Amino acid sequence: MSIEDERDLRVQLSGLLDGADVRPAPVAVVIRRGRRIRVTRRISVAAGLAAAATLAAVLPGVLAGRPSSSGPITPQHYSVNVQALGPVASSGVIAQGVTDGKRWKVVVSGSATAPSVEAVGAIGASGGMSGPVVLDGPVSVESMNDSRYTTIAGNVSAAVTSLVLQLPDGERPTLTPVSWGGARWVAVVLPTRVPVVRAVAYSGTRELAYSVPFRGSIFAAWWDPGQVGPARITRSIGSGVIDGKPWHATAQIGPWGWCFTEGSGSACYGVNPKADLAGQRLAMTTCSPAAGNAPATGIVSVASDVTRVVLRLSDGTSASFRAVEVAGSRMLGYVVPAHVRVTSSTEYGSRGQVVGSASGKAVGASRTPGWTC
């Protein structure tokens, strides 16, 4: 085990523990643009805690270079085998294999512009994802989680000949691209409790890019060989109580990229989201719409001259949210009570002066969703 592998395991365990958060299950709405990745499926708390437990069992002996004082390393047992297929998908099958003794296939259906992906077989139907293919680098994959399995699927560029995943027990399943609908696909089915420590894309034997996934299954940033992601930092960017219930927004930045959580919504980026400001004072990072009696929550990037934003609400009240410096960006988390809407917003500078304002219909440019998604 190299120093680099040890560091990745430390980061992965810490990220999983930091990210575990019990939430209700409304639908999260996340903006996707450029090299950003959307995470529209709920991240399983049970999966995160189980994956953290797996890493915790492995980590002490790994970092010490020997078994822990409590005895030999005894990680949870699992096995992942991926079968190499031909270069072109047959009947939409882009991957197949055996996980923990159960056979599975990952099948793509629909059209080339609106594909639908599902894992089927002895594992039962597992998850499902759909939407247009967006490939702006060597690899673009997303994950589907349920209580039993995580299906990772997506596209790779023409240069990629294999994608190798590093698992906590040392297994390294190799995913070979298969063509379907004019795109090249890779996929795998893992036990939900098993996180991916690192993924490496190869062209032959040459490494093209690598990713350290957030919470073991969210692939936001793909780095060039030798390139190092941002320094690891976890910071609260908003918290309080609304409608009698606590809320908080958090930034988690590290080798996985720039990740943000609020309410039930999460968004991860391969580049610093401040780039989306593009001359504006506000740009939406992620938001979750109100669901039932749950409030709407979100996170926005703000310009360097904005220290506070006040939202005026349709019930005649207002709410103030302070911007926080996070790794060279200014961010703020916000919350809007259930059954009300934002009628306008005002941005203030460091001396209390007004530096901008907008109607409640949009954050920044008119193309950007409003405060309540």
Taking CA 146 as the corner, what is the angle to CA 145 and CA 152, rounded to the nearest 5 degrees?
A: 30
- What integer best gives the mean pLDDT of the chain? 79
* Dihedral sign from CA coordinates of 61, 76, 253, 188: positive
Alpha-carbon distance values, 130 to 26, 94, 228 (Å): 19, 15, 31
Residue 2 has pLDDT above 50, yes or no: no
Beta bridge mates, 346: 310, 357
Residue 223 has pLDDT above 90, yes or no: yes
Dist CA 91 CA 87 (whole Å) = 13
Looking at residue 76, what is its pLDDT? 61
CATH number corresponding to 233-359: 2.60.40
pTM of the model: 0.75
Each domain of the chain, given as residue ranges in start order, spans 3-66+80-211, 233-359
pLDDT tens-place string over residues 111-158: 988 899 999 998 876 656 776 667 888 999 999 888 889 999 999 999
Looking at residue 362, what is its pLDDT? 52
Looking at residue 60, what is its pLDDT? 39
When mean pLDDT is compared over 273-277, 296-300, 348-352, the highest value belongs to: 348-352
Helices (DSSP H) in the chain: which residue ranges?
3-19, 45-64
